[in-house]
């Protein structure tokens, strides 16, 4: 895989992961205000961005299994790090939103 294509892949992963992470934090903010429906919409948008990044990863894996090996660079590792932290942030934020709902329900009792 040539350097230019690798740079585009890195940019796409970082962009998709950053978008997903930002949307997840927006969802958390909406949940803090009690806007759970909006929070769920934002989480679904985050899922779309994470899926886009996952699809890029799948392309890389398929290319490598076909013999088109890619040079692992610091930039690529950085992109993977962005993706992993976005996945983890979204997962944790989903748990936090569930807790907000539970707390709100308990406060209403």
81 is in an annotated binding site: yes
Q: Which of 33, 44, 78, 102 is catalytic?
A: 78
Average pLDDT over residues 62-74: 82
Question: Which domains are assigned to the chain?
Answer: 3-108 (1.20.58.80)
Kindly state the tokens that stand for 26: 């927006």
C-beta of residue 50 within 8 angstroms of C-beta of residue 87? yes
pTM metric for this prediction: 0.89
Q: What is the pLDDT of residues 22-58, one digit of tens each?
A: 999 999 999 999 999 999 999 999 999 999 999 998 8
| Nearest C-alpha neighbor of 51 from the set 20, 72, 82, 91 | 20
Q: What is the pLDDT of residues 78-91, one digit of tens each?
A: 999 999 999 999 99
User: Could you confirm whether 54 is annotated as catalytic?
Assistant: no
């Amino acid at each position: 895989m040539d350097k230019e294509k690798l740079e585009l892949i890195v940019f796409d992963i970082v962009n998709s992961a950053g978008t997903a992470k930002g949307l997840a934090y927006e969802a958390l903010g909406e949940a803090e205000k009690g806007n759970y429906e909006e929070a769920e919409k934002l989480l679904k948008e985050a899922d779309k961005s994470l899926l886009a990044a996952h699809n890029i990863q799948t392309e890389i894996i398929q290319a490598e299994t076909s013999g088109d090996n890619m040079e692992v660079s610091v930039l690529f590792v950085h992109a993977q790090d962005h993706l992993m932290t976005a996945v983890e942030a979204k997962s944790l934020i989903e748990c936090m939103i569930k807790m907000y709902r539970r707390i709100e329900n308990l406060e209403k009792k």
